[in-house]
Each structure stands twice: as structure tokens, then as C-alpha cells.
């Protein structure tokens, strides 16, 4: 599944609920899912549970993007399409302490 397909699936499935909940409420759900993913990663959860938490987190991110009118594929392509946004190389040649 591509990012545009994901955004469309999420919009078609949950768009009306998401719009009525708004950005603030949706962001809270997103943060809750990030917390669940964090706990699963720290707890050495089985891969199937980790996969579920990654999927939930990605779905809520797509929801936020839909509400904000952001095309995730275009955003990722713009920021990372030429490699690292800092050094513009792939793989990244930035120092280990540097972000990203």
C-alpha cells in the first residue's frame, strides 16, 4: 500500500469522525498511540504486537495529515527525496551525534 492509498483508506473509513473530532482531539489519540508503541518497543513485545502498534500510529498520523490537508507522499518526497535533508547524501554522512 502506498502513502496516498493509506491516506485515502483512512479518509474513506474514518473521515467524517475525524473531521468532527478535529485536530486537537485527533492529536491526543495520535500521542496515545505513540505511547503504546513506545511501551511495546520498551517491553520487547512480539513482532505481531509491534506491527499492530506501528500500524495504529501510522493510521493516526495519516488522519492528522488528512485533517491538515497535507499530502504525506509529497511531504516525504520534498523533505527526503534527495537523501538526508542536512548533508543531501544517501546514506547520510552527518556525524553520529547530529540529527537526523
- pTM (2 decimals)? 0.90
pLDDT band at 100 (very low <50, low <70, confident <90, very high): low
Q: What is the pLDDT of residues 52-80, one digit of tens each?
A: 999 999 999 999 999 999 999 999 999 99
d(CA 24, CA 14): 16
Q: Please name each of the domains of the chain with its CATH number.
A: 3-69 (1.10.287.1080)
Amino acid at each position: 500500500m502506498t502513502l496516498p492509498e493509506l491516506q485515502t483508506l483512512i479518509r474513506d473509513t474514518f473521515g467524517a469522525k475525524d473531521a468532527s473530532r478535529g485536530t486537537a482531539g485527533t492529536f491526543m489519540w495520535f500521542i496515545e498511540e505513540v505511547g503504546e508503541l513506545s511501551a511495546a518497543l520498551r517491553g520487547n513485545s512480539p513482532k505481531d504486537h509491534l506491527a499492530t502498534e506501528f500500524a495504529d500510529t501510522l493510521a493516526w498520523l495519516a488522519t492528522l495529515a488528512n485533517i491538515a490537508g497535507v499530502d504525506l507522499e509529497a511531504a516525504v518526497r520534498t523533505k527526503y527525496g534527495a537523501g538526508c535533508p542536512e548533508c543531501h547524501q544517501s546514506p547520510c554522512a552527518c556525524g553520529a551525534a547530529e540529527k537526523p
